[in-house]
Amino acid sequence: MIRTKLCDLLGIAYPVMQGGMAWVSTAELAAAVSEGGGLGIIGSGQAPADWVREQVRRTRELTGKPFGVNVMLLSPFVDAVMQVIVDERVPVVTTGAGNPGKYVPALQAAGTRVIPVVASVALAKRLVRGGVDALIAEGMESGGHVGELGTMALVPQIVDAVDVPVIAAGGIYDGRGLAAALALGAVGVQMGTRFMCAAECTIHPRVKEMVLKARDRDTVVTGRSTGHPVRVLKNKLSRQFEDLEARCAPAAELEKLGTGRLRAAMADGDVEYGSVMAGQVAALVREIQPAREIIRDVVEGAAAVLQNLSRWAVPE
Ligand code: TUI
């Protein structure tokens, strides 16, 4: 088995977090991951504060174990959502797509562990000066909003730059990924795409089917010209996006094309004209499994890899 500092920091059995995914990781998935010994995370996306409160309470009905809420910092409701997290004393908050610095003191005063996602060394250093508990270093292999660096290059740079625990994310699927993350100096992993195909994940079955069928080059990053690049599975919408960007269409037109598309995919199953955000490991996901089994596979797989690797260290 594998236990790291992350297990003690969060009160969990295994160093595996489930990435917060808007319209994907609701109370059902988050609770199943936490029940399986990892850290389940409710993805709040652009949802209003009342929805987040309801999800937090529902998660507590389903599990007595620690869980988290992910706050997307571009959401118009971010202030109210942060207040719900404080009021409800949510154990862990992760953030994405921006700098959560100003919320850190209030969250920590409520006993919430604050773990921002970063994609650069500069933001990592700034947040650590602000007192965050840990950082998730997310490479551009991941789905959804992405930075510029790959996980392999980003994680050791963040590890060297800060003195808080670092969790690796982006491109992680199984025990090989967890072992690699530990080798890079991380204390655990966050995975999103594989958990989209957890049995307990409530997204539309057509989205799961699309992930299961995905091949190595089936994701693409669109929206670079808008300053908000997003990795999605290729479909009719991503091609429309690419066409508009190639023609240097105004940002407003691109924004209009993207509005409501994540919900259309994840909730309504529109896999042609919806935004099917998923990471590069989609190609590795081949079956629907309960969250508990996914976590066990990752942790047992990593233990086996780590044992095996020692054979390369031969005496001189
Ligand atoms: O946030 C994510 N993944 C997401 S958010 C999302 S919703 C969305 N929809 C449309 C446009 C944009 C977002 C879907 N997937 N992952 C964490 C993450 N954060 N990845 C990269 C970053 C990041 C990028 C720049 C974090 C901070 C940052 O710096 C901004 C600054 O202020 O320095």
Of ligand 1's atoms, which has the minimum distance to the CA of residue 99? 32
Cα(96) to centroid of ligand 1, in Å? 4
Structure tokens that stand for 190 in this block: 């966050």
Assess whether pLDDT exceeds 90 at residue 316. no
Assess whether pLDDT exceeds 90 at residue 217. yes
Structure tokens that stand for 127 in this block: 């947040």
Q: For residues 255-267, give the mean pLDDT.
A: 96
Side chain identity, residue 291: A
Q: Does the Cβ of 188 fall within 6 Å of ligand 1?
A: no
Cα(43) to centroid of ligand 1, in Å? 13
Cα(198) to centroid of ligand 1, in Å? 23
Distances (CA, A) of 225 to 53, 122, 179, 241, 244: 35, 22, 35, 10, 10
> Which residues, at least 6 apart from 75, have a Cβ–Cβ distance to it below 8 Å?
44, 45, 46, 47, 81
Closest CA to ligand 1's atom 31: 98
Distances (CA, A) of 283 to 85, 191, 207, 212, 279: 35, 14, 13, 7, 9
Q: Token match 């404080």: residue?
A: 86
Report pTM: 0.97
Cα(119) to centroid of ligand 1, in Å? 9
Q: Does the Cβ of 277 fall within 6 Å of ligand 1?
A: yes
Q: What is the pLDDT of residues 101-142, one digit of tens each?
A: 999 999 999 999 999 999 999 999 999 999 999 999 999 999
pLDDT reported for residue 80: 98
Out of 140, 142, 145, give the residue to mutate to test ligand 1, the one with the largest number of ligand atoms within 8 Å of its CB.
145
Q: What is the pLDDT of residues 279-313, one digit of tens each?
A: 999 999 999 999 999 999 999 999 999 999 999 98
Average pLDDT, the chain: 97
